[in-house]
A = this chain, B = another copy of it.
C-alpha cells in the first residue's frame, strides 16, 4: 500500500502547483498563466506538465483541493483558540488575517478564482465557502450563541459573515504584505463588520422583515 512513484512521489507535481502559486503571489493572475511559464518557474521541462495535469484548469482544480486543506487548518486553529464568546469575532478575524499572511498566495488564488475564468474552479471555491459557512453555523449552535435564530436565518447570517471576510481579501490584495499598519486597519474594520452583522442577527425577527414577507 506504499506510494508507487519514482524518487519523491509527486515531487514535480508539487513543484508545479507551487510555481503557479508563486506567480500568483507575485501579482500575476492565474488565468493569465501559461503552461510553459509555470514549468519554467518550477525548473522543469514543459513536457512534464502533462504527466500530472491535463491543462491549467486541471491544475487550478487541484489547487482548490489544497486550498480546502488550508481552510480546514485555519478552522481548527480558530476552534482551539476562541474560548470566550465576547472576543470571538476579534480573535477569529485575527486568526484569519494571520493565515492570509502565512499563505498569501493561496488566498490570492482564492480571491481570483471567485471571478476566474474556469467555471469548475469557481464552483469549487464557492463550495469551500459554503462548507465553511455551514461549519461556522454548527459552531455557533454548539456555543449556544444563536439560540433565537431559525436554521435558515442562522445559515443566512453565517453566509454573510463568510462573504464579508472573503471580501476583505480584496482589501489585503492592495496592501503590501508587511505594511502592518494597513493590515491592522483591515483587521479592525472587518471585525466591526462582523459585529454589525451579529448585532443584526441578535435583533433579527423570524424569517423576514415586517412588510416584506411574501
Q: Which residues of A contact B (CB under 8 A)?
A: 27-29, 31-32, 86-87, 90, 108, 111-112, 114-117, 119, 122-123, 126, 156-157, 159-160, 163-164, 166-167, 169-170, 173-174, 189, 191-193, 195-204, 208-209, 211-212
Residues of B within 8 A of A192 (CB): 156, 208
A122 engages B174 (CB within 8 Å): yes
Task: Indicate which residue in B27, B123, B166, B204 contacts A199 across the interface (CB closer than 8 Å).
Answer: B204
Which of B87, B111, B212 interacts with A90 by CB under 8 Å?
B212
Contacts of A208 in B (CB 8 A): 192, 195
Q: How many copies does the complex hold?
A: 2
- Given known A170-B126, A174-B126, contact A117–B29 (CB-CB < 8 A): yes
Contact of A200 among B156, B199, B212 (CB under 8 A): B199
Return chain B residues, CB-CB under 8 Å to A123: 174
What are 10 A-B pairs with beta-carbon distances under 8 A?
A31-B31, A86-B212, A108-B115, A122-B173, A156-B189, A156-B193, A160-B193, A163-B163, A167-B167, A192-B208
Q: Which residues of B contact A198 (CB under 8 A)?
A: 200
Report yes or no: B202 in contact with A196, Cβ–Cβ below 8 A.
no
A116 partner residues in chain B, CB cutoff 8 A: 29, 112
Distance in angstroms between the alpha carbons of A204 and B195 in the assembled complex: 9
State A122–B175 Cα separation when bound (angstroms): 11
Question: Which of B27, B189, B203 is within 8 Å of A203, CB to CB?
Answer: B203
CA distance in complex: A202, B205 (Å): 13
| Residues of chain B with a CB closer than 8 A to A166's CB | 167
CA–CA, A29 and B122, complex, Å: 12
